[in-house]
Chain A
Amino acid sequence: MENKIVIHENSFQRMEKKPKELGTVYHRSLWKDIVNEIKSNPVAVFAVIFLIIIIIAALLAPLSPYDPNKLDLANKFAAPSSEHFFGCDAYGRDYFTRALYGGRVSLLVGFCAMLVTVFIGTTIGIFSGYIGGKLDMLLMRFTDIFLALPSMLLMIVLNTILKPGMVTLILVLSLFSWASVARITRAETMSLKERDFVIASKNLGAGSVLIAVKHILPNILGPVIVAASLGVASAILTESSLSFLGLGISIPHASWGSMLQEAQTYILDKPLLAVYPGLLILLTVLSFNILGDVLRSALEPKIVK
């Protein structure tokens, strides 16, 4: 058999390792996951755009030429026009401006209540899940009881007794909603604290607080963000119900809920006054709910679409 190997000068040169074509590398950060998921869902894009518009509009409310609380009886029940986009209410106040200022209150209450809720919920959840044992059991019984309380009923009653106002409202709203966040974060913490990287850093001498903040918190961020988005939705909804019952934001300041309460008086003659603020509540809450569900499918891959 003929030897086909040809030896030439280059044969004894050092072989260079050819760089191999790698497969796609995923730098999957939390933020990218979220953006991709939202981009792939047109309804979610609309929800996000609407939320951005409504938040900017509420922030820019002072630019409106009208004073939301100034009475102007000449314009009583003025019809919608190019001067007054939504018309005027029973006291001649520009309804569009009032809706913007109302949006400030509603959104602020929603966001703050969500922040307080998430803060209390994650703190208790991580603490309870990380410590474990008797204390965990005790805290979870406590949480169960809060979950079982008829929250709306108690909120109504609490607001009757307490002095109505934004801070009261935010505290009362978060008092009755931290429990579910605590449940979620506790469950996640329980599974995380058995993972190798947590055990490794514990063996390296990291303290409990460091582990909780540096290792556990970033890894439970997904469920917490989802809970936060749905939390804003339910806080705005509950706030509007309470204000509608006259137990939330007090006159002359307005939130969307208290605007509806005022509009109810004139509902048979001036139905438009009731339509605008309600529509704003509906669209805002809807957007946060959609966003929450989209985030859930982006951040919690366990759930199959």
Chain B
Amino acid sequence: MLKYCLKKVGQLAIVMLLISFFSFAIIDLAPGDISSMYLTEDMTEEEKQIVIEKLGLDKSMGEQYLSWAAEALQGNFGVSLSYKTPVMPMLLKRLPSTILLMGTSLVVSLVLSIPLGLIAGYKKNTWIDNAISGFAYIGMSIPSFYFGMLLIILFTAKLHILPSSGMHTVGVDTPLDTFIHMIMPVLTMALGTMASKIRYVRANTIGQLSEEYVLAAKAKGTTPAEILRKHVLKNTLLPIITIIGMNLASLVCGSFIIESVFGWPGVGSFAMEAIGKRDYPVIMAYVMLSGFILVVGNFVADILYSFADPRIKRGIDVANGK
């Protein structure tokens, strides 16, 4: 078990290192000379030299990376080119609204997809199953931004019920107002992550229903609803932990796209704006931040899963010869 954790930690470290290389390379690969963004016309040659030295641009690539990584580890990602203020506080200020959006969508997609998957698995190959599976197929195939746009067309352009962008109406700051603004982004984000969960729970339910304990429960006279709720549900829920870990990727990247569709003032739309302005320090910090969320999320999911399901742990121990 310890070996398994260590292996995962090792992988985590390598992936983070790669992401940091990648994030650092953004500056290097970016078209144009970085120093030109800091230099102005009225500087003397000497002043220019000082700026270049201060930025460390006269050093080798390796040295530059090391000093950048040392700063980054302390949470210092430099100064935004367009806002002229430190990057990290700006990102952190916008993080809560992104987390609010991501968290709510995760809850909504779980609450909807687990019962749907259970029902589809229980009513295997009936029209109910076909309808639910078809829904999952569409959820899997629709580009999230397109679904968002369809919602805007329906609820904002045609029905005039919901606001199409932002988090608050100007001058209003009540939870209800935020809730109304959240409905469409949350639905959009939830749909994308529901598909995989529905399919997973369905397949798992079908597998579990053929197990002997279900037969025993049936023989005892347990009603189907109770079998589903008390027995099957518990066994299908465990793997969901891993799925949530995997969903984190689509949530983080989804927030990037969905926040820009709905003008949600979160980290994603901020990064999108930075990409538009070629504000490299912000992009680098965003890549590091979301890479970190993702990788750590996956790691925690893996570890939690092996604790929650003793069979996995035993499997790992057997593989290690215990």
In B267-294, which residues have CB < 8 Å from any A CB?
A: 272, 275-276, 278, 283, 287, 290-291, 294
Contacts of B164 in A (CB 8 A): 268
From A94-102, A125-133, A153-161, the one touching the partner chain is: A153-161
Contacts of B18 in A (CB 8 A): 145, 149
Cβ-defined contact, A244 with B137, below 8 A: no
The residue of chain B having its C-beta at the shortest distance from the C-beta of A268 within the complex is: B157
Cβ-defined contact, B19 with A282, below 8 A: no
Of B252, B257, B298, the contact of A245 (CB 8 Å cutoff): B257
In A241-256, which residues have CB < 8 Å from any B CB?
A: 241, 244-247
Cβ-defined contact, A275 with B150, below 8 A: yes
From A67-75, A178-186, A202-210, A285-293, the one touching the partner chain is: A285-293
Least CB distance, A159 to chain B, in whole angstroms: 9
In A129-188, which residues have CB < 8 Å from any B CB?
A: 144-145, 148-154, 156-157, 160-162
Contacts of B156 in A (CB 8 A): 268
Of B14, B141, B249, the contact of A286 (CB 8 Å cutoff): B141
Cβ-defined contact, A233 with B275, below 8 A: no
CA of A263 to CA of B152, assembled, Å: 13
CA of A267 to CA of B165, assembled, Å: 12
CA of A268 to CA of B263, assembled, Å: 15
CA of A289 to CA of B141, assembled, Å: 7
Q: Tell me if B213 is interfacial: C-beta within 8 Å of chain A.
A: no
Cβ-defined contact, A281 with B146, below 8 A: yes
CA of A150 to CA of B260, assembled, Å: 19
CA of A285 to CA of B195, assembled, Å: 14
CA of A275 to CA of B140, assembled, Å: 18
Cβ-defined contact, B143 with A240, below 8 A: yes
Most chain A CB within a 10 A radius of its CB, from B11, B18, B143, B260: B143
Contacts of A156 in B (CB 8 A): 253, 256, 275
Contacts of B19 in A (CB 8 A): 149-150, 154
Q: Tell me if B189 is interfacial: C-beta within 8 Å of chain A.
A: no
The residue of chain B having its C-beta at the shortest distance from the C-beta of A163 within the complex is: B31
Cβ-defined contact, A154 with B257, below 8 A: no
Q: Tell me if A64 is interfacial: C-beta within 8 Å of chain B.
A: no
CA of A260 to CA of B156, assembled, Å: 18
Of A153, A274, A290, the contact of B149 (CB 8 Å cutoff): A274
CA of A263 to CA of B157, assembled, Å: 14
Least CB distance, A263 to chain B, in whole angstroms: 8
Of A157, A247, A267, A274, the contact of B26 (CB 8 Å cutoff): A157
In B4-56, which residues have CB < 8 Å from any A CB?
A: 11, 14-15, 18-19, 22-23, 26, 29-31
In B225-256, which residues have CB < 8 Å from any A CB?
A: 249-250, 252-253, 256
Cβ-defined contact, A275 with B261, below 8 A: no
CA of A152 to CA of B248, assembled, Å: 12
Q: Tell me if A62 is interfacial: C-beta within 8 Å of chain B.
A: no
Cβ-defined contact, B150 with A161, below 8 A: no
Contacts of B140 in A (CB 8 A): 289
The residue of chain A having its C-beta at the shortest distance from the C-beta of B294 within the complex is: A150
With known contacts A160-B275, A290-B137, A145–B11 Cβ distance under 8 A: yes
With known contacts A145-B15, A233-B141, A268-B164, A154–B287 Cβ distance under 8 A: yes
Q: Top 7 closest A-B pairs, CB basis?
A: A278-B146, A152-B253, A286-B141, A271-B153, A285-B141, A161-B29, A150-B294
Q: Interface on B for A, CB 8 Å cutoff?
A: 11, 14-15, 18-19, 22-23, 26, 29-31, 137-138, 140-146, 149-150, 152-153, 156-158, 164, 249-250, 252-253, 256-257, 260-261, 272, 275-276, 278, 283, 287, 290-291, 294-295, 298
Beyond A145-B11, A245-B257, A281-B142, 9 extra complex contacts between A and B, CB < 8 Å: A148-B15, A153-B287, A154-B22, A157-B23, A241-B144, A244-B143, A274-B150, A278-B143, A285-B143
15 A-B interface contacts by CB (under 8 A)? A145-B14, A237-B143, A240-B143, A241-B143, A241-B257, A245-B272, A245-B275, A247-B275, A268-B152, A274-B150, A278-B142, A278-B149, A286-B137, A286-B141, A289-B137
Q: Interface on A for B, CB 8 Å cutoff?
A: 144-145, 148-154, 156-157, 160-162, 233, 237, 240-241, 244-247, 257, 260, 263-264, 267-269, 271, 274-275, 278, 281-282, 285-286, 289-290
